[in-house]
A and B are shown apart, each in its own frame.
Chain A
Amino acid sequence: MSSTEEAVEARLGPVDRIPLGEGRAFLVGDEPVAVFRPRSGGLHALRAICPHRGGPLADGLVGRDTADGEVVMCPLHNHQFSLVDGSCATGADDVAAYTATEEDGELVVRLG
């Protein structure tokens, strides 16, 4: 469907498919993407698989870390990843970050 070289965009339906404060996973082309809707506002997207041991990031708790960054905490071993850039401050590899926005009430994710 999509070449990995190309920027890919997907419309994922109404924003409230994602409950406030939670995340949900989607398959965008071949890429599993976890989209998060933190209570503080905004939308964020990360690759859905934890680089540590393959945990489902969309099932993680969302909130701030001690340095005040918006993070998701992997449910398997509690590694934390920045929702903004996918960086990990707890010792695992970083995870890929994508762009998620709301357009006309619809959730739009852009890869690449």
Chain B
Amino acid sequence: MTQTAERPETEQESSSKSRLVVVGNGMSGARALEEILARGGADTFAIEVFGDEPYGNYNRILLSEVLANAAGRAVDDEDADGEDELYLNPLDWYDENGITLHAGVRIVRIDRHAKVVYGDDGSVTPYDTLVLATGSRSFFPPMEGMWATKTELTPGVFGFRSLDDATSMLAHIREHRTAVVIGGGLLGLEAAAGLQAHGVAVHVVHPTEVLMNQQLEAEASKVLRSKLEDMGMHLHLGVKTNEILTEDGRVSGVRFTDGSDLACDMVVVTAGIRPNIGLAMVSGLETQRAIVVDDKLRSVDDDSIFVVGECAQHRGEVYGVVGPLWEQAAVLADVVTGANPDAEYHGSRLATKLKVAGVDVAQMGVKVPERSSDEFVQFSETGRGVYQTVVIRDGTLIGATLVGDVSKVAALTQAFDSRSALPEERIKLLFDLGSAGDAASAADLPADTQICHCNGVSKGDLVACVHDGAESVSACMAATRAGKGCGSCKGLVKEVVEAALGGAGVEDPADSYYVPGIPLDKPTLMAEIRSRGLKSVSSVFAELAPDGKDHVGSKMGLTALLRMMWPDDHVDERDGRFINDRVHANIQRDGTFSVVPRMSGGVTSPDQLRRIADVADKHEIPMVKLTGGQRIDLLGVPKEKLQEVWADLDMPSGWAYGKSFRTVKTCVGTDFCRFGLGDSTRLGIDLEERYKGVEGPAKMKLAVSGCPRNCAESMVKDVGLVAIEGDRWQIYVGGAAGATIRKGDILATVDSHDEALRITGRFLQYYRENANWLERTYDFVPRMGLDHLIGVVVDDVEGIADELDARMQETVDRYADPWATDQTDATPGQFHDALPLVPLPQVPIRTSSSRDGVSS
């Protein structure tokens, strides 16, 4: 950078780097810096930081932990152990990142024309870009006795804002035993709890009846209040402090506005915070409650000056909690570094979760209904100290308050942030009505109750498994085989085992793995496979499995995943396939196989039927059966005969054996049916011809019905389409009528045959890429959430619709009929029978005493 002549020179390295100066080294300044560095800011900028506290920056939200910790009490936040954790970045961090830190230097003025800042140590520092993160300070209401001098508080009076405040309070309470906390907001209650942990008698004085009135409405506050009183905290609500009484220049008590006194030897003032805007004011920046910024977090007066954190006022809001600050820092860094010059901050929706004196409190959005049409759900159980409310507007969650029991906060926060659809019974937002009841009943079931009906596992078997030392649901399932059949009992198995483990069982990390043998969830696993270019099952095991173990139960899932991810060039290791996929037929109980040719949309012809009849005769097929998917099944075919049967049929594979696209069941539709509204057979045939054999995490069964009479049962299919009046198709997803029964949800209503094909394909591709191994759509759809799926698949909110379509197209393009390609053996003995139903390859034998016999 060239400098103009009147601009004061500094001794900085002369480099071509732009100068970035950050004023303020608290949480927001540090966060902004981290975000800037994360975007390569160290290469672009020479960075200098001014902080008027003589420390590296520290985590202010842990101050109350500092206070409580010193009492030797266990605190909830395991991150809070020791002062090391308190510091966000130690001093070395600045060195390592090439940042010059001026700790203890206060910036007193900005010369915006010369683009320099003046420090109280006489320094003059030029900038190209300036970031103001001056934060805020405690507000001390004007009060007799507060101040000893103009700048010093009366001994025994404290703010609660900085590390110095916390440590001097800790020093003070060694000798003093009664504290008055002025202000019963969040910070005040945290200070009060911290002091009480040291055995100090604590009185909280609050000017209204509502504690934490920023976050809580009156009823919620009442519950909190009785909890705090139970813990021995003295609350003085609806009164104001008029004066701090002193004796020999030290605190001796407080006097309320009604004239009464309360003796104490310590006062903590937590009556709110005020943004530090003095520097901005003297430097001519627009300030109201704080420094006014635009959506790019720039001062409205000066494009070179950015503002972040508690000193910023954006669209009339000043935020005093940490969430918004993080969001602001990210936007600021995007703009400052040019990583995304168009980034904008549009304000934050506030959600707070904290523990006040051992009481869990969570709050988000509005506290109470604001319009007559707002829904308000309220639950109160004062005996247990639980109070919960939700506020719903136009079907979305706009506010929630939880006191005493915050177990649902994660789900509520998600609903609040994503504005997702809510259960029709609103109370389900607060309680798991179903599973809560089941959990109770699972514990009450008699021991001989059969839990897994496929493998005959009783509750007693599962409980015994726990007593024998199994520590997780998956361990019990592996040992007893419960839930390993159709899988529909898994939920109940989980509850029984968790109850036996003693309530909220250990979170089993294996639950999130795509396959048990690789400790990664599906997105992570896919990312690893892609970045390492792993194209065979054996290479995935070698690189990603613990000790490279090729876990037997994981091979099939990995094979399916690789075939989906690399339709062109996965390495085909046949031993990674289940027997069905090795021989393209479904194994039966006697080791024979079933052969189901494709019969798209369930439509056949006399010629086809004749050929099937001929094949059945010629090969003496023991049973010919109509399937539930409107096809014909030839059962009891020995493995050795499969290729011959396929050749004689001269029909393509129907994929009735794979974790793949199976069938499209259709009704008669418009050609003949007098009620038909849409050509369901045509659409069914086209769907099946297009997506035939597409492999996935589990089987996919579809149906198309030509009118809402729904003769093809579209509502209980993985994807089901229904023609409705006006040449439109409803697309249902996530339906099931097998081990589980579930009515599908409407993903979309489309107005053409082609769009129906496209949306179906896009949904299936998203399912292929995101569902866990063996996770059917009836679990996948509720897990992802219908709104999310509509957003991605129909509205393309993530902008990936084209990619999904392209990847599905690639799979479709690569399709090859396995019955045709495996007419010659792919591996030696691929079609040799494995059971002696027909003579196995007879080999010459001899006794071990003579070795001169025949060899094969």
Contact = CB atoms under 8 A, between A and B. Distances in A.
Nearest to A16: B828
Contact of B578 (A12, A25, A61): A61
A80 B574 CA distance: 20
A13 B730 CA distance: 59
B513 to A, nearest CB: 12
A10 B834 contact: no
Interface in B789-839: 827-829, 832-836, 839
A10 B845 contact: yes
Given A8-B845, A10-B843, A27-B843, A73 B835 contact: no
B835 A64 contact: no
A22 B846 contact: no
Given A11-B855, A39-B550, A68-B549, A25 B833 contact: yes
Contact of B847 (A7, A40, A73): A7
A62 B575 contact: yes
Interface string A58-96: 111111111010011101111010000000001100000
Interface in A1-53: 1-2, 6-13, 16-29, 32, 34, 39-40, 48-49, 53
A12 B591 CA distance: 23
B844 interface: yes
B481 A65 contact: no
A25 B848 contact: no
Given A9-B845, A80-B552, A106 B855 contact: yes
A72 B549 CA distance: 14
Contact of A59 (B481, B549, B587, B846): B587
Given A1-B845, A63-B555, A17 B516 contact: no
Given A56-B591, A61-B575, A9 B552 contact: no
Contacts of A75: 578-580, 587
A110 B481 contact: no
Contacts of A32: 835-836, 840
B14 to A, nearest CB: 62
Contact of B553 (A34, A39, A49, A73): A73
A82 to B, nearest CB: 11
A97 interface: no
A78 to B, nearest CB: 6
B590 interface: yes
A68 to B, nearest CB: 6
A77 B538 CA distance: 24
B638 to A, nearest CB: 11
Contacts of A23: 834
A39 B548 CA distance: 12
A94 B547 CA distance: 27
Interface size class of B (residues with CB under 8 A): 35 or more
Contact of A73 (B552, B833, B844): B552
B856 interface: yes
B618 interface: no
A29 B848 CA distance: 13
B576 interface: yes
A72 B146 CA distance: 80
Interface residues of A, number: 58
A59 B834 contact: yes
Given A48-B835, A61-B555, A66-B551, A10 B844 contact: yes
B408 interface: no
Contacts of B576: 21, 61
Nearest to B847: A6
Contacts of A53: 589
Interface string B582-621: 1000010111000000000000000000000000000000
B85 to A, nearest CB: 37
Nearest to B480: A91
Contact of B835 (A11, A49, A78): A49
B587 A76 contact: yes
A18 B834 contact: no
Given A20-B575, A75-B578, A9 B590 contact: no
A2 B848 contact: no
Given A13-B856, A22-B827, A54-B590, A63 B550 contact: yes
Nearest to B550: A63
Contacts of A77: 455
Nearest to A34: B834
B835 A27 contact: no
B301 interface: no
B573 interface: yes
Contact of B836 (A7, A17, A27, A110): A27
Nearest to B576: A21
Contacts of A73: 552-553
Given A19-B575, A28-B845, A40 B835 contact: no
Contacts of A55: 589, 591
B335 interface: no
B845 A2 contact: yes
A100 interface: no
Given A7-B847, A26-B840, A91-B480, A18 B552 contact: no
B834 A21 contact: no
A25 B746 CA distance: 49
Nearest to B844: A10
B349 interface: no
A20 B573 CA distance: 9
A64 B545 CA distance: 11
B556 interface: yes
Nearest to B592: A56
B575 A21 contact: yes
B752 to A, nearest CB: 43
Nearest to A56: B834
B3 interface: no
Contacts of B481: 78, 90-91
A28 B855 contact: no
Of the candidates B841, B843, B844, the one having the most CB atoms from chain A within 10 angstroms of its own CB is: B843
Interface in B551-582: 551-556, 573-576, 578-580, 582
Given A64-B551, A75-B587, A27 B855 contact: no
Contacts of B480: 91
A59 B835 CA distance: 9
Contact of A62 (B478, B516, B552, B589): B552
A56 B840 CA distance: 12
A27 B839 CA distance: 8
Contact of A2 (B832, B836, B847): B847
B552 A71 contact: yes
Contacts of B855: 11, 106
Contacts of A34: 834
A112 B385 CA distance: 72
A7 B555 CA distance: 36
20 contacts: A6-B847, A10-B846, A13-B856, A19-B574, A20-B575, A21-B574, A22-B827, A24-B832, A25-B834, A27-B836, A54-B590, A55-B589, A56-B834, A59-B591, A60-B579, A63-B552, A64-B517, A66-B478, A68-B549, A73-B553
| CB-CB nearest 9 A-B residue pairs | A21-B575, A63-B552, A56-B834, A58-B834, A59-B579, A27-B840, A19-B827, A7-B848, A56-B591
Interface of B: 455, 478, 480-481, 484, 516-517, 538, 547, 549-556, 573-576, 578-580, 582, 587, 589-591, 827-829, 832-836, 839-848, 851, 855-856
Given A39-B550, A76-B589, 4 more contacts: A2-B845, A21-B575, A56-B834, A59-B579
